[in-house]
Amino acid sequence: MSKILVTGGAGFIGSHLTDKLAQKGHNVLIIDNLSTGFKENINSLRDGSSQKKAKFYQMDIRSVAIDKIIEKEQPAAVYHLAAQVDVRKSLQDPNLDVEINISGSINLLKSCLKHKVQKVIFASTGGAIYGEQEYFPADERHPAFPVSPYGVAKLTVEKYLHCFYENFGLNYVCLRLANVYGPRQNPKGDQGVVAIFCGKLLNGEQVTIYGDGKQTRDYVYVDDVVNAFVSALDYSKNEVFNIGTAIETNVNQLYEILAEKVGSNSSKTYGPERLGEQKRSVIDFAKAKKELNWEPEVNLEQGLEKTLEYYQKKKMVLVG
Ligand SMILES: NC(=O)c1ccc[n+]([C@@H]2O[C@H](COP(=O)([O-])OP(=O)(O)OC[C@H]3O[C@@H](n4cnc5c(N)ncnc54)[C@H](O)[C@@H]3O)[C@@H](O)[C@H]2O)c1
């Protein structure tokens, strides 16, 4: 059992990862500035959580004080998930995206090097790194020409990780995640179409589909993603992996499945296409299957049911 730092551990994916690591007996630390994450997501602060508690530092990854925490805590491994996650915001304000997603990451990696962290596991993107795909599904060798600053930043950090490994021996694994969905994704946010649709449908509100709804994504359930992160910890090489399902679903189909499950009378409307949105995105996970022994276990129907059940139970006031 080791001491493990999770940046972004108060967020959607990071909080599930923290839970799993704690369950496995690891000593988990979290760094998060709570910009899009929530204190309630953190297992030590969640009511009734019986898991081993994670230690929480409310801090920005751009802060110089990060170094003091890593020096004091000496984590063996770092999962780096903290990020500016909004693709559209990255187009509106590329400088901010660079500051958080590139400079903030380098700030963290420098401390990892200095204090001899053994390994960094990075949450990259399979949805935004390839740009408009030339073939479907994209494997890891597909050309990477992201069409958003967010995607450019993720690719840049992957390259830094490789560079730091080659020069200084810092081990890494990058997981290029497809569109992740599941409990705790913020339905009030601008990201995460599944959470937004669940929120609207359960509230009986009108759903807006941007563009013609024929844009496709590869939807992967959060528990599957967490399993991939866990497998990456024991993986001994330095590699990049796609973590997705290789199945394309368009937004209209997603709406229809969810509306039927909710039994909703909510109507849908179409809005203008959004800047930076790719037409089709779907990724191949054969490399992860071969090397990490990972494959998705939850299909879309099952995953959507689990997600809806969560939002129904939570009885949240869901507004968009
Ligand atoms: N959700 C997806 O579909 C998806 C797909 C591909 C990649 N990813 C990546 O996975 C990671 C987690 O995403 P998520 O969906 O859980 O989003 P999220 O917004 O729920 O989690 C991000 C967390 O990072 C924290 N954070 C943001 N900026 C920070 C900063 N400057 N300093 C410290 N903490 C900061 C937020 O408060 C939040 O808790 C991100 O790196 C994201 O880019 C997500």
Query: Tokens in use for 239?
Result: 């590699």
Segment (H or E) for 205: none
CA of 220 to the centre of ligand 1 (A): 16
- The model carries a pTM of 0.97
Beta-bridge mates of residue 239: 173
Which residues have a Cβ under 8 Å from the Cβ of 102 and sit 6 or more positions away? 153, 156, 157
Residues 60-96 pLDDT 10s: 999 999 999 999 999 999 999 999 999 999 999 999 9
pLDDT at 50 over 70: no
Tokens 């021996």 sit at which residue? 169
Query: Tokens in use for 4?
Result: 């493990």
Confidence of residue 318 (pLDDT cuts 50, 70, 90): very low
The 3-state DSSP class for residue 311 equals helix
Average of pLDDT values for 215-240? 98
| Domain residue spans of the chain | 3-181+219-246+284-297
Average of pLDDT values for 24-35? 96
Confidence of residue 51 (pLDDT cuts 50, 70, 90): low
Ligand 1 pocket: which of 32, 63, 69, 85 to mutate (most atoms within 8 A of CB): 85
Backbone phi, psi, residue 249, to 5°: -130, 135
35 Cβ below 6 A of ligand 1: yes
The CATH code that applies to domain 3-181+219-246+284-297 is 3.40.50.720
**Cα–Cα separations (whole angstroms), residue 117 to 182, 263, 271, 301:** 30, 50, 47, 39
Catalytic site includes residue 150: yes
